[in-house]
Amino acid sequence: MKITLPLTIYGKYQTDFSYAEIINILDKKTSEKYLLGMKIDKYEYEENNKTIKIQRYSIGLDAFLESFPLIKMKIENENSMVANVKITPSYFRILFFAVFVIVFIPAAFFAEKWTINDILRTPTLPERFLFSLAGIIPGIWCYFQFIRPIKKTEKWLIEKLKLQKL
């Protein structure tokens, strides 16, 4: 029984390129420039025994905004070039940010009494809202830095290697 993890993309793809052509495409390592060169996306790859690991990363102005997941391609058939692709995000980082969301948002709305300035009282609505921001802001940050790049990475890989889903 194969365990499938949430947020991990598993897929079987086919391409018209041969294995050698895929390696040649990856060897070019062309960087993509955004915002007039203020943000540059690059990648590194490692090839071993018909398995290719690709890691994208960003350099520049908003490099802290996107952390791309690791791509593992296992070549299944070289004649018609079929590859199993697994795109795995950093679960440790996602769980780190999820702790803030899980703790602060429910506590902001469901806790009846808080100790504020050494006084036990019911918090006001603005106080609850400000406390919930301690969960909302890390949640939004986690989405843009770790969750959104998962699908972007799959689209990038499909475009780069001209893959068709089986």
3-state SS record for 45-89: EEEECCEEEEEEEEEECCHHHCCCCEEEEEEEECCCCEEEEEEEC
Q: Model-level pTM?
A: 0.82
CATH 3.30.310 is the classification of domain 9-90+148-165? yes
pLDDT level of residue 37 (50, 70, 90 thresholds): low
Here the tokens at position 100 are 């803030």
Strand (E) positions, the chain? 9-14, 32-34, 39-48, 51-60, 70-77, 82-88, 114-116, 119-121, 164-165
Domain boundaries, the chain: 9-90+148-165, 92-138
pLDDT, tens only, 151-163:
999 999 999 889 9
Query: pLDDT digits over 38-90, tens only?
Result: 777 788 899 998 899 999 887 776 666 788 899 999 988 877 788 999 999 99
